[in-house]
Amino acid sequence: MRLSRFFLPVLKETPSEAQIVSHRLMLRGGMIRQEAAGIYAWLPLGFRVLKKIEQIVREEQDRAGAVEMLMPTLQLADLWRESGRYDGYGEEMLRITDRHEREMLYGPTNEEMITEIFRASARSYKDLPKILYHIQWKFRDERRPRFGVMRGREFLMKDAYSFDLDEASARRAYNRMFIAYLNTFDRLGLKAVPMRADTGPIGGDLSHEFIILADTGESEVFCDASLVDMGAPGLDVDFEGDLQPLVDERTALYAATDEMHDAAEFQARVPADRRLSARGIEVGHIFYFGTKYSDAMNAKVAHPDGQERPVHMGSYGVGVSRLMGAIIEAHHDENGCIWPEAVAPFGVGIINLKSGDAETDAACNHAYAQLEATGREPLLDDRSERGGAKFATMDLIGLPYQLIVGPRGLKEGKAEVKVRRTGERHELSLEDAVSRLAEGAFS
Ligand code: ATP
Ligand code: MG
């Protein structure tokens, strides 16, 4: 992509309404624009990151055996009357009436709809187990939308739903999602800690929240510090095998959000030097809720003994759009974002220090074509701006590498590579710079 053709409305001033760094950088870097309280347009740069996050979430759901589908954003109120949640959900639900005076709502979550879809076809134990998911926009009319995409009203969520014959099998589905989540957040460059959580209005008896530690997080959390550096199980986990030991290893250590926190237990179980009390961002939440919805909505299957019983269900959410804020909270400096390579909107930023100079333009175009051909997704700053402004923009948008090309360097056959994360600079020939960037040799 050439910056002259791209749409990157960066702001010079720090927007006063933004209280946390991720919100400030997303606005300043031209990634999002607020259209109404808690409702954002995703501008091209932000949208590229969002799609990359979404794709990683998708790949790890697929790897864990979940099956993707897409449910609509609008739902019938009557569906929610079946579960009894239509009245219970309260003011967070955006209620809409269509031209036939039919009551509808913009979905805040999809337990009812997926249960309806499942019960329409599932008949026997042979139809189980199943995990279905979608990545779809949700609407919750939050009392206090704030911190940009962290607490939006319209936000993108991955929500998965599991269907099993009994509790033991449902726990295997739960474990699949538990492990998939750890791998997902790890690939996104985040250290997520699973914490025992309250089941809230969805109900049930087994639940974990996945929390990224950050001072700007809205949740108060308490955990054994050794959980933070435990690392993810890895992409070679056998999802058909027994995942319980991997889950146990993590749930054996104390970790709880404030609703579930027990100070006495914390003191007793965690040695003083490992007692971590901190703030965190909830990026995922998994629940096993048994037959709560299948009872209420009559979603039954015949067991091998011929008896029909309600299916056991769980639901598993990831805040896809919130993750973008969480990643910035974890990866930035005073000059801007520092994207992990896996989600960077572009791989390499090429800075042309003298646009319009034939030789410099030709060198930049050559580097651009080669990096493009090797899939490095270059962004070429070919605008007629001063070098200083180009450096500032490139630092702000935080691409992992910068290739700096100017007439003075070219005379000596040199270009410069800057590694955004470390600030490290390498001077080398343009050919070497391009081929090493193409190989990923600076990472
Ligand atoms: P919170 O406690 O932050 O309000 P929640 O517990 O109501 O979230 P869930 O129903 O568990 O949310 O939704 C699954 C995931 O969706 C959450 O873990 C979070 O990452 C994300 N999420 C929830 N509400 C929002 C929101 N208003 N804006 C952005 N992401 C959200
Ligand atoms: Mg939650």
SS3 string of the chain?
Answer: CECCCCCCCCCCCCCCCCCCHHHHHHHHCCCEEEEECCEEEECHHHHHHHHHHHHHHHHHHHHCCCEECCCCCEEEHHHHHHHCHHHHCHHHCEEEECCCCCEEEECCCCHHHHHHHHHHHCCEHHHCCEEEEEEEEEECCCCCCECHHHECCEEEEEEEEEEECCHHHHHHHHHHHHHHHHHHHHHCCCCEEEEECCCHHHCCCEEEEEEEECCCCCEEEEEEHHHCCCCCCCCCCCCCCCCHHHHHHHHCCCEEEHHHCCHHHHHHHCCHHHEEEEEEEEEEEEEEEECHHHHHHCCEEECCCCCEEECEEEEEEEEHHHHHHHHHHHCEECCEECCCHHHCCCCEEEEECCCCCHHHHHHHHHHHHHHHHCCCCEEEECCCCCHHHHHHHHHHHCCCEEEEECHHHHHCCCEEEEECCCCCEEEECHHHHHHHHHHCCCC
Least confident interval from 200-214, 298-312, 375-389: 200-214
Instruction: Tell me the CA–centroid distance for residue 112 and ligand 2, in Å.
Output: 17
Instruction: Tell me the CA–centroid distance for residue 384 and ligand 2, in Å.
Output: 47
Instruction: Tell me the CA–centroid distance for residue 13 and ligand 2, in Å.
Output: 34
Q: What is the mean pLDDT of the chain?
A: 96
Q: What is the pLDDT of residue 252?
A: 93
Closest ligand 1 atom number to CA of residue 200: 6
**Contact yes or no for 275/221 (Cβ under 8 A):** no
Domain extents in the chain? 21-336, 346-439
Q: pLDDT confidence of 17, banded at 50, 70, 90? A: confident
Q: Provide, rounded to the nearest whole percent, the portion of the chain with pLDDT above 90.
A: 94
Give dist(CA 61, CA 284) in Å, integer: 13
270-287 mean pLDDT: 96
Instruction: Tell me the CA–centroid distance for residue 113 and ligand 1, in Å.
Output: 19
Q: pLDDT confidence of 199, banded at 50, 70, 90? A: confident
Q: Is the CB–ligand 1 distance for residue 376 below 6 Å? A: no
Q: pLDDT confidence of 15, banded at 50, 70, 90? A: confident
Closest ligand 1 atom number to CA of residue 209: 18
**Contact yes or no for 125/98 (Cβ under 8 A):** no
Q: Ligand 1: which residue has its CA nearest to atom 24?
A: 151
**Contact yes or no for 194/178 (Cβ under 8 A):** yes
Q: Is the CB–ligand 1 distance for residue 284 below 6 Å? A: yes
Instruction: Tell me the CA–centroid distance for residue 374 and ligand 1, in Å.
Output: 38
Q: What is the pLDDT of residue 232?
A: 96
Q: Is the pLDDT of residue 205 over 90?
A: no
Q: What is the pLDDT of residue 203?
A: 55
266-283 mean pLDDT: 96
Q: Is the CB–ligand 1 distance for residue 285 below 6 Å? A: yes
CB atoms within 10 A of CB 202: 17
Q: What is the pLDDT of residue 133?
A: 98
Q: Ligand 1: which residue has its CA nearest to atom 6?
A: 285
Least confident interval from 37-41, 198-202, 424-428: 198-202
Q: Provide, rounded to the nearest whole percent, the portion of the chain with pLDDT above 70.
A: 99
Fold equal for 21-336 and 346-439 = no
Give dist(CA 222, CA 72) in Å, integer: 37
Q: Ligand 1: which residue has its CA nearest to atom 8?
A: 282
Q: Is the CB–ligand 1 distance for residue 38 below 6 Å? A: no
Q: pLDDT confidence of 202, banded at 50, 70, 90? A: low
Q: 414 burial class (0-12, 13-18, 19+ CB within 10 angstroms)?
A: middle
CATH for 21-336 is 3.30.930.10
Instruction: Tell me the CA–centroid distance for residue 200 and ligand 1, in Å.
Output: 12
- At 317-374, the pLDDT tens digits run 999 999 999 999 999 999 999 999 999 999 999 999 999 999 999 999 999 999 999 9
Q: What is the pLDDT of residue 28?
A: 97
The closest alpha carbon to 155, from 383, 326, 377, belongs to 326
Q: Ligand 1: which residue has its CA nearest to atom 27?
A: 151
Instruction: Tell me the CA–centroid distance for residue 282 and ligand 2, in Å.
Output: 7
Higher pLDDT residue, 392 or 13?
Answer: 392
Give dist(CA 223, CA 213) in Å, integer: 11
Verdict on whether the full-model pTM lies above 0.85: yes
Q: Is the CB–ligand 1 distance for residue 148 below 6 Å? A: no
Residue burial 108-122, b: 16+ Cβ < 10 Å; e: rest = bbbbbbbbbbbbeeb
Q: Is the pLDDT of residue 407 over 80?
A: yes
Instruction: Tell me the CA–centroid distance for residue 5 and ligand 1, in Å.
Output: 36
HEC letters along 36-83:
ECCEEEECHHHHHHHHHHHHHHHHHHHHCCCEECCCCCEEEHHHHHHH
CA distance between the termini of the chain? 22
Q: Is the pLDDT of residue 375 over 60?
A: yes
- At 128-142, the pLDDT tens digits run 999 999 999 999 999
Q: Best mutation site among 150, 184, 207, 282 for ligand 1, i.e. most ligand atoms within 8 A of its Cβ?
A: 282
Q: pLDDT confidence of 16, banded at 50, 70, 90? A: confident
233 upstream amide cis, omega within 30 of 0: no
Q: Is the CB–ligand 1 distance for residue 152 below 6 Å? A: yes
Q: Is the pLDDT of residue 201 over 80?
A: no
Q: pLDDT confidence of 271, banded at 50, 70, 90? A: very high
Instruction: Tell me the CA–centroid distance for residue 181 and ligand 1, in Å.
Output: 15
Q: What is the pLDDT of residue 198?
A: 79
Q: Is the CB–ligand 1 distance for residue 40 below 6 Å? A: no
What does residue 307 show for φ and ψ, rounded to 5 degrees?
-75, 135
Pick the CATH number of 346-439 from 1.10.10.10, 3.40.50.1580, 3.40.630.30, 3.40.50.800: 3.40.50.800
Q: pLDDT confidence of 204, banded at 50, 70, 90? A: low
Q: Is the CB–ligand 1 distance for residue 142 below 6 Å? A: yes
Give dist(CA 346, CA 380) in Å, integer: 10
